[in-house]
Structure 1
Amino acid sequence: MTHTGKTPPDGTVPGTAAGGTPAAEGLDAHLVVDRGAFRLDVALRAAPGDVVALLGPNGAGKTTALRALAGLVPLDGGRLGLDGRLLDRTPPESRPVGVVFQDYLLFPHLSALDNVAFGPRCHGATKAEARALAAALLERMGLADHAGAKPRKLSGGQAQRVALARALATRPRLLLLDEPLAALDARTRLDVRAQLRRHLADFEAVAVLVTHDPLDAMVLADRLVVIEHGHVVQEGTPGDVARRPRTDYIAHLVGLNLYQGRADGHTVHVDGSDDGTGTGTGPVIVTTEDLTGPVFVAFPPGAVTLHRERPAASSARNQWRCEVTGMEAHGDQIRADLTGGLRLTADLTTVAAAELGLHPGAEVWATVKAAQTHAYPA
């Protein structure tokens, strides 16, 4: 089905006033949790039909945010609004929230059908009504033939879908998924990710996904919210975040070399003490964009060409003397970590690496064409 409530490209949320008035529908939250040494301070807004991914390194606050949304961690400040109703003081069991935990936490003594029927029964449905709803959800998940199976008889992918059906059975207005694919092996993960995407596309309320896996976030979410040290450092569509990373963590996730500096036309002066040429000047990156002031510059490792000697004639405007500090297999290529004139990573074929005689400690020249860089305001 098509969602009419998707967040538009400009980042505004339908039904939200310009002054920040809580939307009548959807999620409008400001989560403040103070644990002394760690403080979470994150604002989240999403319209019905949106799938939002909370992405960040370990310890960033993703799980704390999810638990605060579920009511499992009390707020020390801010608010939690859902469909125009404040839930700050509402007990977890009374919130219109469904949760899929990382380990699924299915009741081991109940069948798949009764696991899914458990929520509706707790909300007052008769046994027959709850079982009918559970059967319909299991059929929708492609698990009708496994309705009578206990969790120990289910595969990882099947257990994940039962957990999702159980979360949906109470018709939540907010669906929370905590690393929903983390417990699966790589082969199963591929199939279940595609299935989960289809199920989330049919979900008419707000879904919030917590993950450390950029592929899960990029495939499943309409919008990414990146958290570091308890704060939002970047948010936007997956495409926006991938094209314009604003922290080293994000750049690493999407596979880009990222630098911050000051632009003067097509030249960006990057913070540093020496560019590797012995001239004493700081690193400089030449770009095709004409900008002034603080900027980010990014380029992929595949844009880097390595040479054992400084190229006498090259169309690449950017050249830095570097030293190889590490090498590792990266798919069908070799990824080399370099330091010196500019700290960067470069991807090259195994044949090219062998011909260059690359090894940790080897001195090389790295070149990048200006057309392969991307500069944007910081």
Structure 2
Amino acid sequence: MTHTDPHPHEQPADGTSPAPAPGAPERASTAPEPAAGGLDARLVVDRPGFRLDVTLKAAPGEVVALLGPNGAGKTTALRALAGLTPLTDGHLHLDGTPLEHTPPEARPVGVVFQDYLLFPHLSALDNVAFGPRCQGVGKAEARARAAAWLDRMGLAGHAATKPRRLSGGQAQRVALARALATRPRLLLLDEPLAALDARTRLEVRAGLRRHLAEFEAVSVLVTHDPLDAMVLADRLVVVEHGRVVQQGTPADIARHPRTDYIARLVGLNLYRGRAAGHTVRLDAGPAVTTTEELSGPAFVAFPPSAVTLFRDRPSGVSARNLWRCEVTGLETHGDRIRADLTGDLPLAADLTTVAAAELDLRPGTPVWATVKAAQTHAYPA
């Protein structure tokens, strides 16, 4: 990995990694079998009040997203992969080679930092050429390799440009080119789109997806943004309190969340209980009627858009799930209004602005909430 300063007394542009917060135990999760090549790691890092214990396995060409709330341990895991944070225990093998005791600069690892950390005194071309130069590549060859990568990123016309004159999207592409120019076997991306505005983010995300799809080695993306993770990654690994709580394809995790954090991330109301036939009796709350027939511990989920609200108890409504609730908060959510409710069943409901106005909703307003059984989804816990 190459991120050493070319001048001993000159530092890259500002950018730091956030420190993790204390955590708690995990729920077990099954990891895929180790690939013949690629990444095979168990990252254990002990700190006062916090323990990271995460297993990561990925095949060459696979993009894995580490997803989780602030303080979950995502950045600690990334720094451990890069060699910037030493392991307390565990192992780290890349293409079958152990790297636990390999210094950061000697690892075949490329890193794209959240704030890019481009060297402000170097042109875009020399920023990209810096990595190969540190690997012992001659100046002419390094600059030729850098020029090829800038051209591939659509930045051939900005080779002589200093970082301060680059847009956020251009700086992100230069940082990606710099990481890839070293021909890494592991590419680490730390919140690579976090510094971009919404419009630029959309464009750069599409470009990054294309470049990651072409990358032949392993990519590990750290993000707290579910859209970045869903669009860019082949597989999601959700970390909470330093442990893996769930992993799978984006579609599987979106359909079968197993923690409150994941449910909020994908926009679902999620409850746990015990199923008997088409009824799930919740651990804390009423029963929910579903179309699935299950037996034993189960989750039941439904989107906020499936909830219909009434000011008075409805008559002639076919919904078998009916709960008395109270509005605790309202906020704009896209082109809708999201109501947070408490009462028989705490839940979130999405309404049109017209519906919210007609119901005259405000904190403290009593309402009745209904959800049709066909709009719920139950699955084994």
Q: TM-score, normalised by structure 1?
A: 0.92
2:368 equivalent among 365, 369, 375: 365
Q: Aligned residue for 2:61?
A: 49
Counterparts of 1:6-85 in structure 2, within 5 Å, are: 16=33, 22-85=34-97
Counterpart Cα distance in 2 of 1:135 and 1:229? 42
1:155 aligns with 2:167: yes
Structure 2 residue identity aligned to 1:364: V
1:217 aligns with 2:229: yes
Is the contact between residue 25 and residue 84 of structure 1 (CA under 8 Å) also seen in structure 2? Answer: yes
Deviation at 1:368, TM superposition (A): 0.3
What SS is found at the alignment partner of 1:67?
helix
Q: How does 1:127-276 map to 2 (within 5 A)?
A: 127-272=139-284
Could you list the per-position Cα deviations for residues 229-258 of structure 1 after superposition, in whole angstroms to 9, with x for gaps in the alignment? Answer: 000001000000000100110100110000
Letter in 2 for 1:271: D
SS at match of 1:191: helix
Query: What SS is found at the alignment partner of 1:218?
Result: helix
Contact 1:119 1:166 in 2 (8 A): yes
Aligned equivalents of 1:359, 1:121: Cα separation in 2: 62
How far apart are residue 12 of structure 1 and its match?
Answer: 7.4
Matching residue's letter, 2:63: V
3-state SS, counterpart of residue 226 of structure 1: strand
Residue of structure 1 in register with 2:12 after alignment: none
C-alpha distance in structure 1 between counterparts of 2:135 and 2:279, whole Å? 63
Alignment correspondent of 1:109: 121
**Which string of whole-angstrom CA distances, capped at 9 and with x for unpartnered residues, describes residues 105-158 of structure 1?**
011111100110011111111111001100000000000000000111111100
Is residue 377 from structure 1 mapped to residue 380 from structure 2 by the alignment? yes
1:322–1:363: 8 Å Cα contact kept in structure 2?
Answer: yes
1:336-375 mapped onto 2 (5 Å cutoff): 336-375=339-378
The answer on whether the counterparts of 2:304 and 2:350 sit within 8 Å (CA) in structure 1 is: yes
Structure 1 counterpart of 2:137: 125
- Verify the 8 A CA contact 2:31 2:247 in the aligned structure 1: no
Shift of the alpha carbon at 1:331? 1.2
Larger deviation, residues 161-170 vs 348-357:
348-357
Whole-Å separation in 2 of the counterparts to 1:303 and 1:102: 37
Looking at structure 2, the residues matched to 135 and 354 of structure 1 have their Cα atoms a distance apart, in angstroms, of 58
Post-superposition offset of 1:354: 1.3
Query: Is the 1:23–1:84 Cα contact (8 Å) retained in structure 2?
Result: no
TM-score, length of structure 2 as denominator length? 0.91
Distance across 2 between alignment mates of 1:23 and 1:261? 36
State the AA in 1 paired with 2:281.
Answer: H
Quote the Cα distance in structure 2 between the aligned partners of 1:347 and 1:103: 35
1:330 corresponds in structure 2 to 333
| Structure 1 gaps, min length 5 | 1-10, 17-21, 273-281
Report the equivalent of 1:275: none
Q: Are residue 298 (structure 1) and residue 301 (structure 2) matched?
A: yes
Tell me the secondary structure at the aligned position of residue 163 of structure 1. Answer: helix
> 1:252-292 deviations in whole A, cap 9, x for unaligned?
011000000110111111122xxxxxxxxx41100011101
**2:291 corresponds to:** 288
Q: Hey, which bits of structure 1, 4+ residues long, moved more than 6 A?
A: none
Q: Distance in 1 between matches of 2:264 and 2:36?
A: 38
Per the TM alignment, residue 23 of structure 1 is displaced from its structure 2 partner at its CA by 3.6
Per the TM alignment, residue 362 of structure 1 is displaced from its structure 2 partner at its CA by: 0.7
Given that 2:31 and 2:55 are in contact with CA atoms closer than 8 Å, whether structure 1 keeps it comes out as no
Whole-Å separation in 2 of the counterparts to 1:327 and 1:252:
16
Say what the alpha-carbon RMSD is for the aligned residues. 1.0
C-alpha distance in 2, partners of 1:119/1:354? Answer: 58
In the alignment, the residues of structure 1 paired with residue 302 and residue 237 of structure 2 have an alpha-carbon distance, to the nearest angstrom, of 22
Letter in 1 for 2:328: T
Worse-superposed segment, 157-166 or 309-318:
309-318
Helix, strand or coil: the match of 1:131? helix
Instruction: Give the total of aligned pairs.
Output: 352
Shift of 1:36: 2.5
Structure 2: gaps spanning 5 or more residues: 1-29
**CA drift at 1:24:** 3.0
Task: Report the AA paired with residue 80 of structure 2.
Answer: A
Q: Separation in 2 of the partners of 1:183 and 1:329?
A: 24
Among the aligned pairs, what percent are the same residue?
Answer: 80
Contact 2:327 2:362 in 1 (8 A): yes
Contact 2:84 2:104 (C-alpha < 8 Å) held by counterparts: yes
Counterpart of 1:318 in structure 2 is 321
Deviation at 1:312, TM superposition (A): 1.8
Secondary structure class of the residue paired with 1:48? coil
Which one-letter code corresponds to 1:377 in the other structure? P
**SS at structure 2 position matched to 1:181:** coil
SS of residue in 2 equivalent to 1:66:
helix
